[in-house]
Each structure stands twice: as structure tokens, then as C-alpha cells.
Amino acid sequence: MQETAKNKRIVEDKVTALQQQKEKLEADINSLNTDEGKEKLFRENFGLAKEGEGVIMIIEDKNAPKASLGTNTGSFFSFLRNLFK
């Protein structure tokens, strides 16, 4: 009897999770049916910009020396000085 109640609880939890997933997917579909929703998707996933807007790309220099963050203030100020060179 306990096993049946446990299985019922597991199935009910799965049904609830699937209902929540369905609601989210329906909301996503409704959003994508609007121009604003499509624009948001393209901006977030593909880094697109509107006409007249600029895009800033930050590229990490793999060959740059790593700045060490020490506990004393001298290292901190050295770090800041090197950051703006």
C-alpha cells in the first residue's frame, strides 16, 4: 500500500512538472509570435543590433600576463596601474 502511494506521488510530481513545462513553452511560443519577442530572441542568442546601434565585442587576450591579486595594498595598486596601461 505504501509503495502505491509513493508511486502515485512520483507520478503526480511528474505531471505537475510537465504542466509547468507546457505553460513555459506556451508562453515562449506566444512571445515568439510578437515582433518584440523575436527581437529579444535574436539579440540574446545572436548578438544582433538594430540599425544605428553599435556592438561592443570584448575579446580576452590569451597571451596577457595574469595579474596577481595580493593581500597587501601595494599589490592592489600595482594591479590597478597595470590594468589601465
Query: Phi and psi (nearest 5°) for 55?
Result: -115, 130
Confidence of residue 85 (pLDDT cuts 50, 70, 90): low
Amino acid (one-letter) located at 56: I
Residue-wise pLDDT for 18-63, tens only, equals: 999 999 999 999 999 999 999 899 888 887 878 888 877 778 888 8
Mean of pLDDT values over 1-11: 91
Helix axes 35-46, 2-32, angle to 10 degrees: 100
pLDDT band at residue 72, thresholds of 50, 70 and 90? low
Contact between 48 and 42 (Cβ < 8 Å): yes
Q: Alpha-carbon distance 68 to 5, whole Å?
A: 58
The answer on pLDDT for 69 being more than 70 is no
pLDDT value of position 68? 56
Contact 46, 52 (CB under 8 A): no
Helix or strand (DSSP H, E) at 85: none
pLDDT for the residue 8: 94
